[in-house]
Structure 1
Amino acid sequence: MMSQDQPSTEDRCGRFWNGMELLKDVTEKKHLLPTGLEGIDTLLGGGLRRGHLTEVTGPSSSGKTQVCLHSASLVAAKHLGVVMYLDTSNSFSPSRVATIIDGTPDLFGHKAKGCEIEDVMRSIICESVFDIFALFEVLNQLEISLSNDKVNNGGSKICLLIIDSISSLLAPIIGGKYPQGRSMMISVAMILKKLADEHNLSVLVTNHMVSAGNGAVKPALGESWKAVPHVRLVISRECRSNICTATVLKHTLLASGSTVKFTVPS
């Protein structure tokens, strides 16, 4: 069994690591960002790992966007860093973020004040991105800004990048309209993993489900994308309920098939 102090073969990106790089990985890139959803954080051993790309997939209305909003809210409220939220389908809801913060009194030890909620909002940078070309532009600009140390808020650097949803941007280009669609998809994957690795970010993306035949469903974007995320979770919601189930499809350290129930607050 691989030690948790060792980067996986996939993390190594096909290159050799020297001793100092291994030490840096252990000391700087093992930090976790809580999602604020207790079940998911327990399942993942504390939350979203920095330096990794985590995918949350599931059917429509299963709670994928809620995972994103809770993660953004908690990371910002705990002053862990700046959150960049790329909204591809008008899913970002400032009022929902305010409700999440207001409904989590232990964040501040008291009911959130207006100024505290405003502070959280200032730590979440939201940008609408509606096609693959806009995504490339935003990611390239983000890489330049991170390299120049310009993406910060009061001294806090960006630590979490959320794309909700990645599949709404990538699915249209791999259906035949764009001959280079799959190459573009892999380019996006490489940029995201480079950003995560070089700038110690946690990258969180959502993906929808498609038919796998015989009534079964599977994550969209095919086999080429399947190898990209370090972590893949599939979530489902019980009918007419706020109770959800998260199942590990892929993880560098956990066994596939591990499950946990969690509640998405109303």
Structure 2
Amino acid sequence: MVVLREGMCPGLDEDLVRDLRAAGIKTVEDVVSSDIEELAQRCAVSYKALFAIRRVLLAQHAAFPVSGADLYEELLSSTAILSTGNPSLDALLDSGLYTGEITELSGGPGSGKSQVCFGVSVHISHRLKQSVIFIDTTGGLAAGRLLQMLRAETSNAEEQMEALQRIHVYRAFDVFSLLDCLHGLRAGRLRQALGGGSVKAVIVDSVSAVISPLLGGKQNEGMSLMMQVAGVLKTLAKDFNVASLVTNHVTRSGGGELQPGLGASWAPVPRTRILLERAEGAADVGHSSVRSATLIKSSRRVRQEGAESHVYLYIYIYIYFI
């Protein structure tokens, strides 16, 4: 279900949304399936205006057939591969993060998920000279931490500041704020905030922090909100040709094995899933900490006997004092 919101299309203003909700019309599906003439009378709005809104909503949310050849040509012309800055992780991801796709890092507390996200942001902004949207849902991102990582890359203060300016941070501490942020980026704030600059990655750390409290039991609304987040992330990745990187918590299966959280409904959303864990028996080296990374899902790599689906990552530890 897609909830009706002000500004979703021309003519759908705050007053009309309020009148539609009063008439029991709360989602796009409700509008599309309603008798427009009857609905116009109930909401005291012109039939012509409501019919136009219905057509736009259908165009935005209905699926249209496309040939496999067209999809393949589009893939070849639009996909870019972004290095994460970590050679071992790049090898596991078949060269790096792919634009137009969602990649997930799952792991428990202290597994290095956020640190990997920070490293990806710094690498894309400094080495690749591209902009990054970083949505922080836990309050764990600090500019000082990014600056420390940049100082390890370059001693040039001007380069450090330029790289920091390419990392655009948003904070969203509940699912509604996250949806507002994602919808705003999709509606044009993405290009406006950058003055026409090039964004190559959208990072959400963590998507599960704002979704998992709403799941479980009979909380159907939580499931609907989770799928709305998934839908907007997919649309952003595809329409803006960016790589989307999200983090997720972990749970244990009936057999006691670690597995990504958010359940079976979320599982098809990421095209690639990586499980991060503390590496047992591996000693830390210098200022780096060793983590185990396991490929548990990939749209490109079929698991074969002897195929590399597990690597060790050396994640540099940065201590930031506030």
TM class by shorter chain equals: 0.7 to 0.9
More strand per residue: 1 or 2? 1
Of 194, 204, 208, 1:163 maps to 204
Of 196, 203, 207, 2:244 maps to 203
* 3-state SS of paired residue (1:163): strand
C-alpha RMSD of matched pairs (Å): 2.1
Of 46, 49, 53, 2:98 maps to 49
CA contact (8 A) 1:56 1:234 kept: yes
* 3-state SS of paired residue (1:22): helix
Unaligned runs of 5+ in 1: 1-12, 105-110
CA contact (8 A) 2:129 2:163 kept: no
User: In terms of mean alpha carbon deviation, does 173-182 or 69-78 score higher?
Assistant: 173-182
* 3-state SS of paired residue (2:247): strand
CA shift in 2, pair 1:45/1:211, >3 Å: closer
Of 117, 122, 136, 1:87 maps to 136
Residue 22 in 1 paired to residue 72 in 2? Answer: yes
- Residue 152 of structure 1 is matched in structure 2 by 194
Following superposition, the deviation at residue 79 of structure 1 comes to 4.2
Of 172, 181, 192, 1:129 maps to 172
Output the CA distance in 2 between the equivalents of 1:91 and 1:14.
41
CA contact (8 A) 1:151 1:157 kept: no
Output the CA distance in 2 between the equivalents of 1:95 and 1:57.
25
CA contact (8 A) 1:248 1:255 kept: no
Q: Which structure is higher in RCO with an 8 Å CA cutoff and minimum separation 6?
A: 1
Matches within 5 A, 1:1-266: 15-17=65-67, 19-29=69-79, 31-104=80-153, 111-145=154-188, 149-152=191-194, 155-176=196-217, 178-238=219-279, 241=284, 242-256=289-303, 258-266=309-317
Following superposition, the deviation at residue 25 of structure 1 comes to 1.2
Following superposition, the deviation at residue 219 of structure 1 comes to 1.1
Following superposition, the deviation at residue 98 of structure 1 comes to 1.6
Normalised by the size of structure 1, how large is the TM-score? Answer: 0.85
Unaligned runs of 5+ in 2: 1-62, 318-322
CA contact (8 A) 1:243 1:264 kept: yes
Following superposition, the deviation at residue 114 of structure 1 comes to 1.5
Identity between Structure 1 and Structure 2 (%): 29
Deviations 1:66-118 (A, max 9, x none): 110000001001244211111011111222212222223xxxxxx42211111
Structure number with greater Rg is: 2
Normalised by the size of structure 2, how large is the TM-score? Answer: 0.71
CA shift in 2, pair 1:264/1:15, >3 Å: farther
* 3-state SS of paired residue (2:123): helix
More helix per residue: 1 or 2? 2
